[in-house]
Amino acid sequence: MTLKIYGSPASKAFRPLWAAEEANIKYELVYVHPKDAAKNKDLRNVNPLGKIPALQDGDFCLTESLALTDYILRKYAPDYLPQSLEGQSDHLRWTLFGATEIEPVLIDYLHAKGIPFGDADPVKAEEKLAVLRPLFAFLDQNLTHGYLTEKRFTAADLNMASILTWVKIGKINLTSFPHLSHWLDLCFKRPAYLALREKLRA
């Protein structure tokens, strides 16, 4: 049975879609618009909460975007996951750092910039940017060797880069963070990322 990912590419479903491309597996995107998710019967069979993204792989169902990326890569492309205890812990550290420290502030920043709802608040946007700068600086300091862990692209990089797609949407200037900027460019130039973008444009 083909692995199914429920959601919209413009949502956090982009993360497991990217992971599926990296793993080079056959999958099906079951398009669900965020506004329609709660009343979508097929989605609710996979996630009773009616939220996206969600994954169905045979009889196994899973929710939470970063859990989906981990599942896909662990099952279908395990080389993307560090093998040592230290590497696994580092992977978890960066995934949680991105999800709990960076992403909530990034989303608040986008909303303050009027994305996607309008009603921009420039003062609040600058306040959120001031919170983000030291977080970006911390990332920058840890990217001097090119990647977040094991000096190669791993699931930790995919998870963090997928979170930082909000940076691109918000047009945040990363000039002051050269290692972070270079790393993000590398991630967004990966064949799997580009292939996914091309599929979504078709």
Question: Domain tally for the chain?
Answer: 2
Query: Does residue 147 sit in helix, strand or coil?
Result: coil
Q: Which domain holds residue 20?
A: 3-79
Cβ pair 94, 135 in contact under 8 A: no
| Average pLDDT for 110-131 | 92
Residue 116, pLDDT score: 81
Predicted confidence (pLDDT) per residue in 72-99, tens digit: 999 999 999 998 999 999 999 999 999 9
One domain for residues 70 and 21:
yes
Element holding 27 (H helix, E strand) = strand 27-31
What CATH number should be reported for the domain holding residue 38? 3.40.30.10
Show which of 61, 79, 97 is a domain's final residue: 79
Give me Rg for the CA atoms of the chain: 17
Residue 201, pLDDT score: 86
One domain for residues 43 and 130:
no
One domain for residues 179 and 89:
yes
- Supply 65's token pair: 């975007």
What CATH number should be reported for the domain holding residue 91? 1.20.1050.10
Is 195 part of a structural domain of the chain? Answer: no
Query: Does residue 173 sit in helix, strand or coil?
Result: coil
Element holding 55 (H helix, E strand) = strand 54-57
Show which of 51, 79, 107 is a domain's final residue: 79
Show which of 79, 103, 136 is a domain's final residue: 79
Q: Which of 18 and 199 is assigned the larger pLDDT?
A: 18
